Structure 1
Amino acid sequence: MKQVRDKCILWVAGNFKSFLHDERGSLLPMVAGSMLMLTGAAGVAIDGARMFYVKDVLQKSLDSAGLAAGHAMSVTNMENDAREFFNANVSSVAGVVTDSNMVVDISPDNELITLTASASVEATFMRLFGYDAITVSASTEVSRETRGMELVLVMDNTGSMRHDDKIDTMKEAATDLIEIVFGDDETNTNLWAGVVPYITHVNVGDGNYSWLSEAGQDKVDNDYHGTEWKGCLEARTDGEDQTDTPPTVLPFEPFYWADTDPYWKYSRRRGWYSVDEDNNWIDDDTGTVTINEVNNSSSALGPNRGCASAITPLVAEKSKILSAIDVMEPWSFGGTAANYGLVWGWRVISPRWRGLWSGSPATLPLDHDTPYMDKVIVMLTDGVNELISQDSELGGSDYTAFGRLHDFGYTSINDARDEFDTRFDTICQNIKDDEILIYTITFGSTPDTDTQDAYAACASNPAFYFHAPTASSLTEAFEEIGRQLSNLRLSK
């Protein structure tokens, strides 16, 4: 065996020596070159895989940074938000990348964001060819296009808002919301807003006289002695107070608080005495008309008694909305009918009412399926639904858009409240079925548990309901809604 091995070694040695001195052809340089090429190819493959991996991560990091910048509420936050997202994502290749950099360029109109980035990848086999690092780059563009919005604020203007400066707090908070949504501009692309003040009746403005029935127009023309119809309407019957049926299909009747005659009342202390405390604006003896349709429960007289500030329909100008908020004040008449305020908020943005609102563009409200458009209602109350009680001789309550308590079909104030609550729930569901977003707010300590639950259920999303027991919490609630609405408009 040993002899065989020795012979093999001698043969290989002899032949190798001949191979080295053979002049017929040199295979060694070819083999060496082939080995070099194979090594280089392996180096390119390995380093290339690392490069493609880093480029993929770099591109995804850049895309997420661009989306973060596009969703930033303010322009000043765009670059900071972009860098935060970019750094968080690109850190996943920290062991491979030796250096990275991102540049953010924002167009003058703040609508186009261009992001570019580069990263250095440490070479491995490519070092054999003099490359210590390989640079990869990526870029992306984000169009900061905003969604459109029709926004309506449905605001409680009842008498209880007079206490503890609640009306001023609400007006300041609502102003903050509008400032957040509109930003520094007087108008904004595809953004319209409106305001609906409510008590137990709502004022649509006297410019909408054409909405009245023939009988209603005749009443306005002849029965408002010494004054003019301000624009408040009666609630429609047969369930139509819970729909968005337009006046072209079913006209309205004007709100008319009729003159009330003095009546006799008995008490043990005073005996029989004459009561003249509701709305005696026509003297029974002389026929003298006394009109004093001011916001004062003790002295107000006239057919428009308690007809509060008019609705501001959808407009594009921020200043008009701020003015509408500023003129709101508490009206101590009738009580609270949040269901009636809410249904009018719906009518302000329902496309069935397009071209009907005096003072609003004829093209509004837009269709529900208009691309990149949202319809939003923000609803606030500081109390519970209720009617202000009056003597039976006066019909059991103040006069409202639903008539007096007895006209409404009830003898109990609590039963009437329950009916208002039921209608509120129905209107909420009808609006949500109409693909309109609802934000709700209960303000102060007066809204009871049932009211808070009803408003929470009315909101389109649990995050869209806010209970604000204090002035500061109301400000925070409106600011949060403003932020959510701003992000909604930047969600494309």
Structure 2
Amino acid sequence: MTGPRSRRGAVAALSAVVMVPVIGFAGLAVDLTRVWLVSARLKTSVDAASLVAARTMTSTTRDADTRAIFWANYTMNGRSARSHMLATPNTTVEITPIGTTRIRVTARADVPTTLFGIISRNTTPLVETSLAEREGTGLELAIAIDQTSSMRERGSSGMTKLELAQEGTTALLDILYGTEDTKRNMWVSVVPFARTINIGTANASLLSGSGLPASWNGFGNQWAGCVEARRGGHDVTDTAPTSDETRFPPYYWDTTYRQVGWVSGDVSNTVANLARNAAFWQGVTGAAAYNGEGLCTSGNAYGPVAISLYANTSTNSRTTYNVRFCRGANDWRDLSDTLNPTRIRTLSTSSGNAAYNPMFAYLRNEGFGANGFTQESAAGPNMLCALTPVLPLTASRRTIQQRVDAIVAPAKSGGTTVVTGMQGLWYNLSPDWRNRWDGIATSGELGALPVNYGTRNMMKVAVILTDGDNNWQPPYQYNSGTVRDSARGTNWYTDLMYNAYGRRTDYNTNVMDFNAQNVAQPAADIAETTSGSSQQQANADARLDQRFAAICGAMKAQGITLYVVGLEVTQGSAIDTMLATCASSSRTYIRARVAEDIPNAFREIANQLVALRLVE
């Protein structure tokens, strides 16, 4: 018979055997809690990290940014991780792009066991993964790219500013479209700009038919597509182009031949303006008389032309005056040649030739063609018109890319009118311009484009890239010290070149006629007769800046998000302030310090526009 001592030993042995699983299962309960906590923290961390990875897919700091956000979540923003049972020495993070729109983040961690290790393994491996996708939301996007001659300059990479702008736009499209040619409810417009915008000859229905010079007749089929800013204050509104008052005046640089004055002593203003001489004067010049005596020296005048005029109001016979007319900025045809209103005059680049013209010679030397009807003719009605037409809202990424790639910058562009780029952006996003553009896309879901302001799940975004401020230039070969021996814009020798705002205009009137320039001008005139060229240009540029500020404010008031990329703009400068004020916020104003920064600037914009979602 077994004694009490033997039974106690058996109980002890049995207890020892039973305690192992009891302690093990107690440890299991503890360790399962630890595993659950780590798993939850790991899942939260990879979800957050994958969204960051998707947003920064094209960034060179993608992996660093992704890991930083992972660890910030995993360690609870730097608090002691071990005290929260989270940190393990061999936790790893893997980042794997999948195509151009998806990216996977995977994290692995080993959780050390406590008492459960007595009966099983010492660690529990965990794996959490998250797949994030980026896609564009409903979007009407208009992109304005500076195509002035300065965009031909090369950066340190050897690429031109324009090439880098095209690369940046391509990067933006890559992010928005991925590998697809179209995206649901996404359309893009491209607006190249210089001193004008080119709406394309297919959009001739948008041209105003009023206020045009008589010489426009017979020229219309030679129009290259550029336009002036709309008049009557409509340059800073999106009013629908339903009347001559709200449509574009065509860009038409009329000839300056014999319209910009003559050498002192050849004929007096009094004689030239006698009513009885009107027909004789117009027969030679093609236009009414004006006060032009002494507006140039013989050094900037063509050879003498004989004009038979009455010397006073009482004489019965006429006197022959040999008048040496000043060389103008664009002497492409003779207004008096009424039988051939589009006949091109022959000009020369040789200073010893009677047909020599300094601005013509300058542009020919820069690679422009002979005088004619192209934008790169050294004289002609389309001279210095923007080369590449606007592309209205388009669904196909392929078509958009083709237009971006087609943008070219001329050797000379005659200044920058940034406000025209803003106008082109707005007219391509405004519902008041719905179905106005030839070739504009139509949405099967939303109907005609552009959609109404405030349409649910639709954004309207405008992006403009420029390397310059508003710059209204005097004629090439102008020299303030020898102004009367240089190319001249009009019979006011200090006038500036014709551009999208005409010349010497208060923005709310038609281009002032050559034949009315001897009368007093309104106080709002952009350049008074007493101004020197530098002051005159400063006045003109300031007026353009005012129009730029006005249109930026008006667009933002309609809910359009404005992104502005200032290329090589000095922080704190007047230009910097102007561009920053135009942008919707500090987040949407990007300074590209050098040309090589342009692609990343466009990537940043695209990253702000895409919508992110977790796929798994």
1:117-151: per-residue Cα shift (whole Å, max 9, x none)? 55332222223444533444544343343445544
1:307 aligns to what? Answer: 385
Partner of 1:382: 468
Q: Write the mapping of 1:410-489 to structure 2, written as runs, cut at 5 A.
A: 410=525, 411-412=527-528, 413=536, 414-433=538-557, 434-443=559-568, 449-462=573-586, 464-465=588-589, 473-476=594-597, 478-489=598-609
Question: Is the 1:338–1:424 Cα contact (8 Å) retained in structure 2?
Answer: yes
Contact 2:224 2:375 in 1 (8 A): no
The reply on whether 1:202 has 2:161 as its aligned counterpart is: no
Q: Secondary structure at the match of 1:56?
A: helix
TM-superposed deviation, 1:415: 2.5
User: How far is the alpha carbon of 1:203 from its aligned partner?
Assistant: 1.7
Quote how far apart the aligned CAs of 1:63 are: 1.5
Residue by residue over 1:276-320, the C-alpha shift from the partner in whole angstroms, topping out at 9 and shown as x without a partner, is 4234524415643324123457x4123x34332222223333465
- What is the CA–CA distance in structure 2 between the aligned matches of 1:226 and 1:246, rounded to whole Å? 23
Amino acid corresponding to residue 454 of structure 1 in structure 2 = M
Identity over aligned residues, as a percent? 26
Give the 3-state SS of the residue equivalent to 2:574 in structure 1.
helix
> For residues 212-238 of structure 1, what are the alpha-carbon distances to aligned partners after superposition, in whole Å with 9 as ceiling and x for unaligned?
35658x999971438433322332233
- The 5 A counterparts of 1:337-348 are 337-348=417-428
Count of paired positions = 464
What do residues 16-39 of structure 1 show as CA deviations (whole Å, max 9, x unaligned)? xx998999xx99999999988975
Question: Which of 167, 173, 181 is the equivalent residue of 2:164?
Answer: 173
1-side partners of 2:409 and 2:59: how far apart?
36
Q: 2: CA distance between counterparts of 1:179 and 1:327? A: 13
The secondary structure found in structure 2 opposite 1:275 is: coil
SS across alignment from 1:182: helix
Q: Where does residue 64 of structure 1 map in the other structure?
A: 48
Q: Equivalents in 1 of 2:94, 2:420: separation in Å?
A: 54
Distance 1:423 1:369 in 2: 28
Q: Do the aligned partners of 1:173 and 1:474 also contact (CA within 8 Å) in 2? A: yes
SS of the residue 1:143 aligns to? strand
* Conservation of the 8 A alpha-carbon contact between 1:102 and 1:118: yes
Q: Check conservation: 2:255, 2:331, Cα contact below 8 A.
A: yes
Q: Distance in 1 between matches of 2:506 and 2:63?
A: 62
Determine the C-alpha separation between the residues in 1 that align with 2:135 and 2:40.
Answer: 26
Separation in 1, partners of 2:101, 2:179? 15
Go from structure 1 to structure 2 and tell me whether the alpha carbon gap of 1:114 and 1:329 turns closer, same or farther (over 3 Å shift): closer
Q: 1:317 aligns with which of 374, 397, 412?
A: 397
8 Å contact 1:196–1:341 — kept in the other structure?
A: yes
Secondary structure of the corresponding residue to residue 399 of structure 1: coil
CA distance in 1, matches of 2:124, 2:40: 15
Map of 1:13 onto structure 2 = none
CA distance in 1, matches of 2:141, 2:497: 32
Aligned residue number for residue 9 of structure 1 = none
SS at match of 2:249: coil
Query: What is the deviation of 1:88?
Result: 7.1
User: What is the distance in 2 between the residues matched to 1:401 and 1:75?
Assistant: 39
* Distance in 2 (alpha carbons) for counterparts of 1:279 and 1:416: 24
Match of 1:275 in 2: 326
For 1:380 and 1:428, the matched residues in 2 are separated by 15
Q: 1:207/1:285 Cα in 2 relative to 1: closer, same or farther (>3 Å)?
A: closer
Q: By how many angstroms is 1:350 displaced?
A: 3.0
Q: 1:36 to 1:429 in 2, by over 3 A?
A: same
Structure 2 unaligned runs (5+)? 76-80, 265-293, 300-322, 345-371, 444-448, 476-488, 508-523, 529-535
**Match for residue 238 of structure 1?**
232
Matches within 5 A, 1:108-123: 111=101, 113=103, 117-123=107-113
Would the alpha carbon gap of residues 163 and 138 (structure 1) be closer, same or farther in structure 2, given more than 3 Å must change? Answer: closer
In the alignment, structure 1 segments of 5+ residues that lack a partner are 1-17
| Aligned 8 A contact 1:47 1:124 in 2 | yes
Cα distance in structure 1, aligned partners of 2:439 and 2:469: 31
In 2, Cα distance between the equivalents of 1:269 and 1:395?
15
Distance 2:91 2:506 in 1: 76
8 Å Cα contact 2:168-2:602 kept in structure 1: yes
Equivalent of 1:396, from 491, 495, 513? 495
1:172: how far off? Answer: 0.9
**Residue 40 of structure 2: SS of its match in structure 1?**
helix
Alignment of 1:6-405 (within 5 A): 42-74=26-58, 86=70, 90=74, 92=81, 97=88, 100=91, 111=101, 113=103, 117-147=107-137, 149-158=139-148, 169-183=160-174, 185=179, 187=181, 189=183, 192-213=187-208, 215=210, 223-225=217-219, 227-248=221-242, 250-263=246-259, 264-265=261-262, 266=264, 270=298, 273-277=324-328, 278-285=330-337, 287-288=339-340, 289-291=342-344, 292-296=372-376, 299-302=378-381, 304-309=382-387, 310-315=389-394, 316-318=396-398, 320-330=400-410, 335-363=415-443, 364-367=449-452, 369=455, 371=457, 373=459, 375-388=461-474, 390-393=489-492, 396-405=495-504
Secondary structure, counterpart of 2:44 in structure 1: helix
Please list the CA deviations of residues 403-424 of structure 1 after superposition, one character each: whole Å capped at 9, or x if unmatched.
2215654134232322111111
Secondary structure at the counterpart of residue 464 of structure 2:
strand
Report the Cα distance in structure 2 between the residues aligned to 1:22 and 1:326, rounded to whole angstroms: 99
Deviates more, 1:182-191 or 1:249-258: 182-191
Deviation sequence 1:76-123 (CA, Å, 0-9, x none): 99889766765776574587646556677766x565555565533222
- Rounded to whole Å, the distance in 1 between the matches of 2:220 and 2:106 is 72
Q: CA deviation at 1:156?
A: 3.5
Residues 179-216 of structure 1 deviation map (CA, whole Å, 9 limit, x = unaligned): 31233858353554433233333221121122235658
Q: CA deviation at 1:342?
A: 1.5
- Shift of residue 453 of structure 1? 2.3
d(CA) in 2 for partners of 1:96, 1:334: 64
| CA 1:246–1:85: 2 relative to 1, 3 Å | same
For the residue of structure 2 that corresponds to 1:330, the secondary structure is coil
The normalised TM-score by structure 1 is 0.75
